[in-house]
Amino acid sequence: MAISSQDYESVPLKGSKVHHLKRNKHNNQKFIFDFTKNSKRYRQTYLAPKDTPTAMIRMAKIKCEAFYEQAGKIRDDIDTNISVDAYWDRFCEHKKSDWGRSHDRTLKGFYNNHIKTIIGHKQLRRVNTVDIDDIMHKAKHLSKRSQKAILEILTPLFTRAVKEGLIKETPLDHKIKRNAAEEKKVVLGAEEKFTQVHKAINEQFSDNIKLKTAFLFGFYGRRLNEVLTLKWSDIAMDYDTYIIQKDNNKVNSDMLFGLSKEITDSLKELHKTKDSEWVFSSNRDPSIHMTKLSQHYSKIRKATGIREFTFHWMRNLLVSALVDKDGVDISDLSALLGHNDTGTLKKYLSLQREQSSKKAAVAIDRMLA
């Protein structure tokens, strides 16, 4: 029997749409995997074991990812002499459903500016470590962040080529280490701007406790995704702590932070209007979380005159304002921002983040007093 796509709809998990997966509108156990890979369309139905709706979606997601991984794994149609340029184009086509427009433009820009001229014309199977050395040597004038971005293009590109059997092993052996706390962009006049932004958050969102609380989390150093994916179960107001789950941060481990009194008070007020497991539930659909706040940046920019203001910019502002404060050093800032140190025990890191974030809260209170 032919599969009718009209009988299926996209499904959310943790507030985001699951790629390549749809659920039957009339039977929540029935799913379809539907995607195009290497210019070929793949479709397959799946009947999940009876369970809670979320559990069935999780199981279907796992099966869908496995099906996607296997689809077209044996590639007889790829020319073994394919050039890096041609293979990059195929890779971008494969990734386009996962990349946003901005991310897509950024990666393609890095490829064209730093990779294409050196290995773009070469056969993929002829690329060796010397070629990668040449790329990184010519990029040595760039920041470590930019050098790392180049490797973040090359690594998955050659890893995929290995999986498709085009090469036996990846030619990459480079690793870029950087101190992210030290490399944050310095904000001039940070202390003054710090107080301006704090005042603007409290005044501009005085009638919207949800937005006020979300921006306060950013003001105290959290990334946007870390904030918007918070659940009430992640917050322990009685202990002035909260957890950023490993699925929602960059270091792939649970991170424990201390709550400032200001955020705790704001959370208590927000909790009175709780309508979901999500702290920052969508106003349109409380079953999912908010996904962006950029539409509200203009209020802060107008109130402060700081045109460069964004949610992520507040992390730069925080580092710049705190870097010379007594009791807050580089290791505290690194822990506060949620960076990892693979040579340190996870338990120690959790304690350090909690203590460092509480140290920072004390220093922030002094600046705002």
Side-chain-side CA neighbours of residue 47 (13 Å): 1
User: Which pLDDT band holds residue 21 (cuts at 50, 70, 90)?
Assistant: very high
CA distance 345 to 351: 10
* Mean pLDDT estimate for the chain: 82
Q: Which residue has the tokens 């709780």?
A: 274
Q: Which CATH number fits domain 188-368: 2.40.50.140, 3.50.50.60, 3.40.50.1860, 1.10.443.10?
A: 1.10.443.10
pLDDT at 89: 92
> How do residues 223-277 score in pLDDT, each as one tens digit?
898 999 999 999 998 888 989 888 887 666 788 888 989 999 999 999 999 999 9
Comparison of pLDDT for 185 and 308, the residue scoring more: 308
> How do residues 34-92 score in pLDDT, each as one tens digit?
888 777 788 888 998 888 889 899 999 998 888 888 776 545 567 788 999 999 998 98
CA distance 171 to 38: 23
Q: What is the CATH number of domain 84-178?
A: 1.10.150.130
Comparison of pLDDT for 46 and 176, the residue scoring more: 46
Amino acid at 249: N
Q: Residue 17's beta-bridge partner residues?
A: 12
Residue 58 token pair? 């999780």
DSSP E strand boundaries for 14-142: 16-24, 30-37, 40-47
Report pTM.
0.52
